[in-house]
Structure 1
């Protein structure tokens, strides 16, 4: 039995390694259409793709509307307003566009009344337990999300008014979108960017970094386990030491998973102004050792929210006593 399982795992790792090296070295991937159990590894990278969908929500129409990027002049019909800001929200592994906490993020942005909210759903390509194939499918997901981004700008949206917000693997997809654009994005918010295998195998083009947008801000809540460590963006926020969050109970894996999702919950709560998150400048490590945050008293603290200054730089430590209620599916 181990031989079968180990063979599948090894084959998956080899495929992931192939997927994240330069494209010229991954041509063999186009010959494969690998499906096992409920897992899908895409053979072709062509957009639009039936397993990657986009949904628009607006303050006047807070219900999902499927967006067909093949029709260039339909955004107004969906209720999209050019004067508003735009957010693209991308879920992570084993998520969907309407599961919590992605729905919390959606509703938080809608509550502001000044956003068109686009949800990127690639759930058929990232089902549990298909983590390895999910890594492989990120390339297609980012390529198609870039098509959505271009669709919005062609309708008249300014790049400066578009933010990509991604949780876990979704954070890396936000970063990879810029690989498919002639001009990199203006702003990305990464919510506990995924660490497993990404940190070991991910090239610069495969993982979120500060070169992916003019402004990259990152919130860490499970750094060193399910989430990336250290300074990832221009401004990073290490919450409650960065590793485990208050209110997360149960066995170790559940606590880790809960802490991983809390990045989205905290950010959603800060957008709705339900929680006041203040970051104090500190050294660039995250997670932090207990009591050793390395606070820099010569720099200003700032509030963590959608309105965090684009000029913010470095690592900020955030202490939250509030146990924000955040169920997750």
Structure 2
């Protein structure tokens, strides 16, 4: 069994539980199945304990207490939500929560920069380890509840879908897609932007586009790939797809006991750095991932034709496939005119 098969086996097998029960909440009518410790939600309404929406008002700092919003009736206190600002919606992945690093590091970056409403989607109870199968099943519920929240903010607080930027990590990237589909069904308008951070691969390789992130899900979809073929999807999933350090293994993870997972988890770290980076993560265009693998992409590590920014500052007009190099230690961004001494030698020699 290869490394991809081993990774999938470890990830998926523990989620197969024996005990099964069916619960109906008489007060809400919500139908819920449990497989051992795994929860499968198959009917609305949204449960504010299992999918929480945490608002961080513009001007708040990283230590500020968030404001809990109800999915079906969001009521941000006066002065805490500004519809004239961009709204950043952050969605974690499998086995995550509101304080998981993939969410927290990006939240801190946006709050430190200022100028945005920040909403964190915490669906941790529906994405617990070892319940990967259940987490996938619950994506539709989480996406629906997130869409309902945004619809409530749109109808009552003048939020416009075009100003919404959803940043989803791993399974969270597919939640973002379902959120936009739900929003479009309710308003006729899809979201302005989705950023997919190493969208999850296991069980998404052959699903149709309705269940996974693709370019039709927002006006602009940009994707950062850091562990393709193992935890992250290899296929192009956006208008602009960025493969970092070849897209499979990250130089900062050399020697790590779980290099694939480490590489997967670096996608949100790179994105968080891009929010305020003066150097920037610059990429070079290439016709396809396979052109890169076969060595058919033009240029080398000393190239001067890096002209496309990855991350927060990526232009919404960007189209294509790009390859980005980073340093092997923070700060990871190498800038447009890259210092070859900061690029790990083993990656320069590829």
What TM-score, normalized to structure 2?
A: 0.78
Matched, 1:233 2:238: yes
Map of 2:218 onto structure 1:
213
Q: What is the CA distance between 1:125 and its match in structure 2? A: 0.4
Q: What is the CA distance between 1:249 and its match in structure 2? A: 4.4
Deviations 1:67-104 (A, max 9, x none): 124445x3243611222111100000000111113111
CA distance in 2, matches of 1:160, 1:206: 22
2:173 pairs with 171, 179, 183, which one? Answer: 171
**Where does 1:128-277 land on structure 2 (aligned, <5 Å)?**
128-154=129-155, 155-181=157-183, 182-200=188-206, 202-250=207-255, 254-273=258-277, 276-277=280-281
Map of 2:319 onto structure 1:
313
CA contact (8 A) 1:191 1:263 kept: yes
Map of 2:345 onto structure 1:
none
Q: What is the CA distance between 1:230 and its match in structure 2? A: 2.9
CA contact (8 A) 1:65 1:78 kept: no
Q: What is the CA distance between 1:274 and its match in structure 2? A: 6.1
Map of 1:295 onto structure 2:
298
Give the total of aligned pairs: 301
What is the root-mean-square deviation of aligned Cα atoms in Å?
A: 2.9
Higher RCO, Cα 8 Å, sep 6+:
1
CA contact (8 A) 2:59 2:111 kept: no
Q: What is the CA distance between 1:34 and its match in structure 2? A: 2.9
CA distance in 2, matches of 1:275, 1:187: 23
CA distance in 2, matches of 1:275, 1:95: 30
CA distance in 2, matches of 1:107, 1:8: 32
CA contact (8 A) 1:277 1:304 kept: yes
Map of 1:47 onto structure 2:
46
SS of 1:127's equivalent in the other structure is: coil
SS of 1:199's equivalent in the other structure is: coil
CA contact (8 A) 2:231 2:260 kept: yes
CA contact (8 A) 1:229 1:287 kept: no
CA contact (8 A) 1:57 1:116 kept: yes
**Structure 2 vs 1, CA of residues 153 and 143 (structure 1 numbering), >3 Å: closer, same or farther?**
same
SS of 1:205's equivalent in the other structure is: helix
CA distance in 1, matches of 2:139, 2:263: 23
CA distance in 1, matches of 2:58, 2:253: 32
CA distance in 2, matches of 1:126, 1:176: 16
What TM-score, normalized to structure 1?
A: 0.83
Q: Which moved more, 1:38-47 or 1:317-326?
A: 317-326
Deviations 1:217-245 (A, max 9, x none): 00000011100113210001010000000
CA contact (8 A) 2:30 2:45 kept: no
SS of 2:88's equivalent in the other structure is: strand
Q: What is the CA distance between 1:246 and its match in structure 2? A: 1.3
Q: What is the CA distance between 1:119 and its match in structure 2? A: 0.2
Unaligned runs of 5+ in 2: 1-11, 19-28, 333-350
CA contact (8 A) 1:266 1:275 kept: no
Map of 1:280 onto structure 2:
284
